[in-house]
Structure 1
Amino acid sequence: MKQTEDNRMIYLVEDDESIRELLVYTLNGQGLVAEGFAYPSDFWHAMEKKIPDLVLLDIMLPEEDGLEILQKLRKKKETKNIPIAMLTAKGSEYDVVKGLDGGADDYIPKPFRMMELVSRVKALLRRGGQEQPQDDEEYVLGELYVSKKRHLVKVKGEEVTLTMKEFELLLLFLSNPGIVFSRAQLLDKIWGYQFDGESRTVDVHIRTLRQKLKEAGRYIETVRGIGYKVGGEE
């Protein structure tokens, strides 16, 4: 049965008590279920009891930083597809790029506007809770093969591991050959929220997707001043 937003669990790892309490209070007040942790060890203990539907991770933490936690979550089979958003210090470009490179689905710069954060959390929950299609769709473009149902990507016969957002981006391009998507359209279709002038989320995901696809990365073309597309023919 498909879950609704208000019965799904959000874990927040944030060592600043005032921020943690405010975030948990705000999320719970919006009909969401949220639990906060000051220490990564408490978070990992909770993970042994229940796997959440979404994780919010601060970068700077005691014991281990948020990027390390992100890497561990992405390596585990049972948590590799959980939607994860990083909470980053405003203007920390390095942390943003590292987080998205590591498989984060989104990042939210501090200080954040609470209602914007709630909106982005709900968008990630909706995307993460979408039911998988029963019918398979397969795509072949030159050296690239993609199976939608099996979440399988191969380049020259070799399997490639993508994050959920990278896979969704690739599917969107392949199912709309030759169509140019702007950053605003990609944010709306893949992340589920409106473009606010911040484009790093899209750009970094495109870059890591191209890198993982290796030779087939060239199929994702940049249309200067507009956005991205996959060509109609190879």
Structure 2
Amino acid sequence: MGKKKHKVLVVDDEQDIVEILRYNLEKEGYEVKTANDGKKGLEIAKKFLPELVLMDIMMPVMDGVESCRQIRDIPEMKSAYIIFLTARAEEYSEVAAFDVGADDYIIKPIKPRALMSRINAHFRRELKNKENEEDIIKIGKFIIDRSSYTLHIEDLQVNLPKKEFELLYFLAESPNKVYGRDELLASIWGSDVYVLARTVDVHIRRVREKIGSQYIKTVKGVGYKFDMADQV
């Protein structure tokens, strides 16, 4: 039996971009589905359940932001990796992307070889994480299960997008240890991925909104830590 292919969904209204990405992804051995608008992408995501989604922001029928928001509401898609592809480089666009659960953000024009390297690195990190990390952290009121990407605070299950979950998991692994933004970027996003330091701040804010602001503390001029003082 052959090795199982990773599943990737490409959603973009520019057909030439879709075809270029399909060609390069299939050449790398990925199973690929495509769509030309956000609504169709959402319909395919519900059935195909891709592990990774490449999605344009500005599209007809349903834009990428709304499509991403609804994809994150699919239980089986909460751990999928979602990358926005866009010609818009404004900061508010990047923040909006992360606010609805995107994991990464790439400015067009796309360089296929660099993108394939980025995607391959992502799946290598996923494999390494599964091999090297403990599945469950139990700390105070929290049960953080990496095998199912679920978080329970006492009897309440809290849903977090993939990168928010991984950020919380990483901090909770070493409670009270302070991590700088650059260290968090390298550990969660990888050194081969170019994202700005504010990406960490946006994700920290989103995690705090869902679990309570008291658990992840800011150490001024240094970074962030998972605070055990509120876990007793």
Query: Following the alignment from structure 2 to structure 1, what is the Cα–Cα distance between the partners of residues 166 and 195?
Result: 22
2:218 maps to 1:222: yes
1:66 is matched by which residue type in structure 2?
G
Deviations 1:17-45 (A, max 9, x none): 22222222232333333333223354345
Query: Following the alignment from structure 1 to structure 2, what is the Cα–Cα distance between the partners of residues 197 and 44?
Result: 26
Instruction: Answer with 159-168 or 67-76: which moved more.
Output: 159-168
Contact residue 180 and residue 227 of structure 1 kept, 8 A: yes
| RMSD of Structure 2 on Structure 1 (CA) | 2.9
In structure 2, the CA distance between the partners of 1:22 and 1:139, relative to structure 1 (3 Å rule), is: same
Unaligned runs of 5+ in 2: none
**Residue in structure 2 matching 1:40, options 34, 38, 41:** 38
Unaligned runs of 5+ in 1: none
2:174 is matched by which residue type in structure 1?
N
TM-superposed deviation, 1:15: 0.7
In structure 2, the CA distance between the partners of 1:183 and 1:117, relative to structure 1 (3 Å rule), is: farther
In structure 2, the CA distance between the partners of 1:134 and 1:205, relative to structure 1 (3 Å rule), is: closer
2:138 maps to 1:138: yes
Identity of aligned residues (%): 36
TM-superposed deviation, 1:205: 0.7
**Residue in structure 2 matching 1:70, options 63, 68, 71:** 68
In structure 2, the CA distance between the partners of 1:196 and 1:11, relative to structure 1 (3 Å rule), is: closer
* 1:229 alignment partner, SS class: strand
Query: Following the alignment from structure 2 to structure 1, what is the Cα–Cα distance between the partners of residues 117 and 135?
Result: 31
Instruction: Answer with 67-76 or 125-134: which moved more.
Output: 125-134
Query: Following the alignment from structure 1 to structure 2, what is the Cα–Cα distance between the partners of residues 61 and 83?
Result: 20
Query: Following the alignment from structure 1 to structure 2, what is the Cα–Cα distance between the partners of residues 111 and 175?
Result: 38
Deviations 1:67-106 (A, max 9, x none): 1111111112222322211113342222211121111122
* 2:163 alignment partner, SS class: helix
In structure 2, the CA distance between the partners of 1:109 and 1:222, relative to structure 1 (3 Å rule), is: farther
Query: Following the alignment from structure 1 to structure 2, what is the Cα–Cα distance between the partners of residues 73 and 15?
Result: 18
Instruction: Answer with 178-187 or 10-19: which moved more.
Output: 178-187
* 1:177 alignment partner, SS class: coil
Contact residue 51 and residue 81 of structure 2 kept, 8 A: yes
Indicate the residue corresponding to 2:171 in structure 1. Answer: 173
Indicate the residue corresponding to 1:52 in structure 2. Answer: 50
Aligned length: 225
Contact residue 187 and residue 194 of structure 1 kept, 8 A: no
**Residue in structure 2 matching 1:86, options 84, 87, 112:** 84
Indicate the residue corresponding to 2:227 in structure 1. Answer: 231
In structure 2, the CA distance between the partners of 1:45 and 1:162, relative to structure 1 (3 Å rule), is: closer
Contact residue 41 and residue 67 of structure 2 kept, 8 A: no
